[in-house]
């Protein structure tokens, strides 16, 4: 398994993983990723800007996550307090794993791999993520990955007529020191 930046050739598999994720959430009656979000335009934007990472095994995409530099408009309204200041963080969005491999711990592996990648950049002070209050599976993965709950985030792209608030989380980024070459 390898974490790498997504390429446009990965788009069909990424789209299918997102569609499967939407169906999985709907089957659990979780009001997250309903309607048009996330859509093809968002996925293409993430890939073209180098935000999207995929967990791959050979040519098969097992999972996808977008790591987007702050400030993130979604995180401007937090009923709580972030651990870091604006602009010093990466926001993780559109996290999903293949329906063909559900139940194999891939969400945790995906999170760990992207956190390891982000730890290589000392300018990143924190990593933020949010999820629906009823998405207990994602909450488990987020907490298991060392994130701490920071409050509630107003969802800006919700197609739900009622205002939606997700649980916000943040983890301080602890950059790794690479050994110096002799």
pLDDT in tens, 57-112: 999 999 999 999 999 888 888 899 999 987 689 999 999 999 998 888 899 999 99
Whole-model pTM: value is 0.90
Counting Cβ atoms within 10 Å, is residue 182 exposed (0-12), middle (13-18) or buried (19+)?
exposed
Whole-number Å distance between alpha carbons of 164 and 37: 14
32-52 average pLDDT score: 92
What residue spans define the domains of the chain? 2-172
Between 178 and 145, the more confident residue is: 145
Q: How confident is the model at residue 147 (pLDDT cuts 50, 70, 90)?
A: very high
Q: What percent of the chain has pLDDT over 90?
A: 71
Q: How confident is the model at residue 31 (pLDDT cuts 50, 70, 90)?
A: confident
Q: How many CB atoms lie within 10 A of CB 122?
A: 11
User: The sheet that has 89-97: what strands, in order across it?
Assistant: 2-5, 52-57, 60-69, 89-97, 126-131, 165-172, 148-154, 78-80
pLDDT at 73: 86
| Pairing between β-strand 2-5 and β-strand 165-172 as defined by DSSP bridges | unpaired
CATH of 2-172, one of 3.40.50.150, 3.40.630.30, 3.90.1150.10, 3.40.50.300: 3.40.630.30
Tokens of 109: 């592996």
Residues near 32 by Cβ (< 8 Å), separated by ≥ 6? 25, 131, 132, 134, 135, 166
């Amino acid at each position: 398994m390898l974490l790498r930046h997504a390429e446009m050739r990965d788009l069909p598999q990424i789209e299918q993983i997102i569609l499967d994720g939407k169906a999985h959430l709907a089957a659990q009656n979780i009001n997250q990723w309903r309607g048009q979000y996330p859509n093809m335009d968002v996925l293409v934007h993430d890939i073209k800007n180098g935000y999207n990472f995929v967990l791959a095994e050979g040519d098969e995409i097992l999972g996808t996550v977008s790591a987007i530099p702050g400030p993130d408009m979604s995180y401007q309204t937090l009923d709580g307090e972030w651990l870091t200041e604006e602009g010093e963080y990466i926001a993780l969005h559109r996290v999903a794993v293949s329906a063909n491999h559900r139940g194999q711990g891939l969400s945790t592996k995906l999170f760990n791999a992207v956190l390891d990648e982000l730890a290589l950049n000392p300018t990143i002070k924190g990593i933020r993520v949010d999820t629906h209050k009823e998405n207990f599976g994602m909450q488990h993965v987020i907490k298991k990955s060392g994130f701490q709950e920071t409050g509630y985030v107003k969802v800006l792209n919700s197609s739900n007529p009622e205002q939606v608030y997700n649980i916000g989380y943040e983890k301080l980024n602890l950059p790794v020191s690479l050994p110096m070459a002799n």
